[in-house]
Chains A and B, each alone.
Chain A
């Protein structure tokens, strides 16, 4: 029971982080029709910025806010210098160009921060366990991630559903040409959306940094997961991304935690302990394949034609 609750919360936390990444990715994908493989690099940059600024200022919150601003700025610069010229091009061109950007970012990080990873210490005011249910304790920092991510998700929902800019974003996701024809400054909107996506990725990176090591290539693995999320959720759909992200987070975490024991009851323990990690890593890809075979446009397609 204790383990189930704990793993459930871990899964939820991971899912919410995935959502932060996937939200930016799905907006950029849905509105600009841009496949941005370098989104994971922005996540990595967020973590590196956070580790640097926190060490520099000595305050987690101040450093985090600075890291957030830096990622936002980086995203805007990136959109302005490179990605802007890729809109309207073939998806394959996007893949190639942003693949190049991944190489660049990984190498730049190696040049600036060195090949060894960085560690971002937990903020001391969050480094204590919280009793969430009688007898069940959970790290406060992870709870804080859940709360912050839920807040951001709520803000994003309100922003996209209730504000004028959000209206434009939604309109852009369902018909790009039309909102351009209606006299909306599409270029500005694109830069804004890209910056927002970058900031969300940076936020995910900086919140994840104290739990994992900040290292080169940390963006690539999670990028693929974020892609899985937006494909399952339906490209361009924030709601789909939210549901799919929580689903993926829970399945991945719970699978890793409980599959070995389940397998051990079927197979002998040696083969179970070797098969389980591979099988639990496969689970989400299996889910994605099933979803795509059953519903080729994802669960909540944004632009129905």
Chain B
């Protein structure tokens, strides 16, 4: 592929550079809050990237992606409470359970399409939400405090803010790289073919459902990882992380940044969450500005931020 310097890749590179240098800034100014904020942003960007894999490249509009955040988080929280503090075990369980959940609900949900797919993924996520609310042993509605962060042994210490931030950023960049590899592989090309015209791909002889399911499971595992990180970041996990508005937030981040672009979800998450933070400091009624802003972005900014930047490049 011919590489060219265009506005959107410059912006993406700047965002990554900013994320890498952030702890330096935080260290120089002594502003710890910004590091905490951006740890959360990086983790949620990771889940947005995973959502973009199924939504942007696979054409599967999942409205229940936050369920994996909860599954990953509860894997960490429950194992920690039961005395298994090893991060390797916790993260492996988080990813494995997410994969299993994705496999089951994917196999059922992929029977439907369009709006029905949106709604059935939502229904499953709501079920997961209520299951978590019913876990009386693990806090039920009130959630579960994670008293000890995942222990990876050796020099890795999640209790160290800067180290934890870099670990999350490393995971994010690794996942972006993985998505890039997937999208440009034969598997990814088939997937994008399915998004454009499923019937035609079936006619050529591709088992469409199997490809889509595999993609759905991969995205679920990646988001499970992000959920495990999120629980470590907040030292807390509750059913609220799976609530449908959280799935909505994730969708907004993806669409805002630019669906079906590699770095779009990362840019979208940074913009959405920073905007939320800035507006909420500006005024108590930040959503009064945020809501119409989203509407305007949909009405006038097709393709999200990356789409707009791409047009800037051409026009």
CB distance from A122 to the nearest CB of B (A): 29
Q: Are B119 and A296 in contact (CB under 8 A)?
A: no
| Given contact pairs A224-B126, A289-B123, A97 touches B288 in the complex (Cβ within 8 A) | no
Chain A residues with Cβ below 8 Å from B244 are 224
Expressed in whole angstroms, the minimum distance between the Cβ of A22 and any Cβ of chain B is 13
Q: How far is the CB of A304 from chain B (nearest CB, A)?
A: 15
Is A10 engaged at the interface, CB distance under 8 Å to the other chain? no
Decide if A271 is an interface residue (CB 8 Å cutoff). Answer: yes
* A106 contacts B116, C-beta separation under 8 Å: no
B61–A100 touching, CB < 8 Å? no
Alpha-carbon distance A95/B119, docked complex (angstroms): 12
Give the distance in Å from the alpha carbon of A207 to the alpha carbon of B123 in the complex: 27
Chain B positions within 8 Å of A275 at CB level: 134, 136
Instruction: Encode B119-161 as 1/0 by CB contact (under 8 A) with A.
Output: 1101110110011011010001000000000000000000000
A138 to chain B, nearest CB (A): 29
Chain A residues whose C-beta falls within 8 Å of the C-beta of B286 in the assembled complex: 107
A21 to B248, CA, bound (A): 21
A95 contacts B295, C-beta separation under 8 Å: no
Binds A, one of B76-84, B89-97, B220-228, B251-259: B251-259
B33 within 8 A of A: no
Q: Does B112 contact A (CB under 8 A)?
A: yes
Q: Closest residue to B304 on the A side, CB-wise? A: A96
Is residue B273 within 8 Å, beta carbon to beta carbon, of the partner chain? Answer: no
> In the complex, A286→B63 CA distance in Å?
16
- Residues of chain A within 8 A (CB-CB) of B136 are 271, 274-275
> Contact flags (1/0) for A77-94 with B, using CB distance below 8 Å?
000001001100101110
Question: Contact at B259–A103, with CB atoms within 8 Å?
Answer: no
Min CB gap A69→B, angstroms: 25
Query: Given A91-B114, A107-B287: A96 and B131 within 8 A (CB)?
Result: no
Contact: B115 with A292, CB < 8 Å? no
Contact residues in A for B297 (Cβ distance below 8 Å): 96
A286 to B128, CA, bound (A): 11
For A296, list chain B residues within 8 Å (CB).
111-113, 116
Query: How long is the Cα–Cα vector from A286 to B127 in the complex, in angstroms?
Result: 8
User: When each residue 15-46 of chain A gets 1 if its CB lies under 8 Å from chain B and 0 otherwise, what string results?
Assistant: 00000000000000100000101000000000
Chain B residues in 8 Å Cβ range of A6: none
A89 to B114, CA, bound (A): 14
- Check B290 for interface membership: any CB of A closer than 8 A: yes
C-alpha spacing A271/B118, complex, angstroms: 33
- With A96-B294, A111-B288, A231-B120 known, 14 other A-B pairs at CB within 8 A are A91-B115, A92-B251, A93-B298, A97-B298, A99-B251, A99-B294, A102-B291, A104-B287, A106-B287, A110-B285, A228-B123, A235-B115, A282-B126, A292-B112
CA distance A107 to B301 in the complex (A): 24
Tell whether, in the assembled complex, residue B251 and residue A95 are in contact, meaning their CB atoms are under 8 Å apart.
yes
Is there a chain A Cβ closer than 8 Å to B299's Cβ? Answer: yes
The reply to whether B120 and A292 contact each other, CB–CB distance below 8 Å, is yes
Minimum CB–CB distance from B75 to chain A (whole Å) comes to 19
Q: Output the residue of A29, A99, A297 with the most chain B CB within 10 A.
A: A99
Q: Quick check: is A277 within 8 A (CB to CB) of the other chain?
A: yes
Interface string of A114-143 (1 = CB under 8 A from B): 000000000000000000000000000000
User: Given known contacts A99-B248, A274-B136, A275-B134, is B291 in contact with A285 (CB within 8 Å)?
Assistant: no
Q: Which residues of A contact B123 (CB under 8 A)?
A: 228, 285, 288-289, 292
CB distance from B251 to the nearest CB of A (A): 6
Name B252's contact: one of A85, A99, A281 (CB within 8 Å).
Answer: A99
- Give bound CA distance, A93 to B299, whole Å: 8
Q: Is B177 part of the contact surface with A, judged by Cβ < 8 Å?
A: no
Q: Chain A residues with Cβ under 8 A from B13's Cβ?
A: none
For the complex, is B292 an interface residue (Cβ under 8 Å from A)?
A: yes
Q: Which residue of A lies closest to B293 (CB)?
A: A100
Q: Are A97 and B131 in contact (CB under 8 A)?
A: no
**A100 nearest in chain B by CB position:** B294
Q: What's the Cα separation between A85 and B127 when bound, in Å?
A: 34
Provide the B83-109 mask, 1 if CB < 8 A to any CB of A, else 0: 000000000000000000000000011
Residue of A nearest to B140 (CB): A274
B245 within 8 A of A: yes
Smallest CB separation, B102 vs chain A (Å):
15
B61 touches A92 (CB 8 A): yes
List 5 tightest A-B contacts by C-beta distance, closest first. Answer: A278-B134, A100-B294, A104-B291, A103-B291, A274-B136
Given A91-B118, A289-B124, answer yes or no on A96-B288 (Cβ-Cβ < 8 Å): no
Asked if A103 and B251 sit within 8 Å, CB to CB, the answer is: no
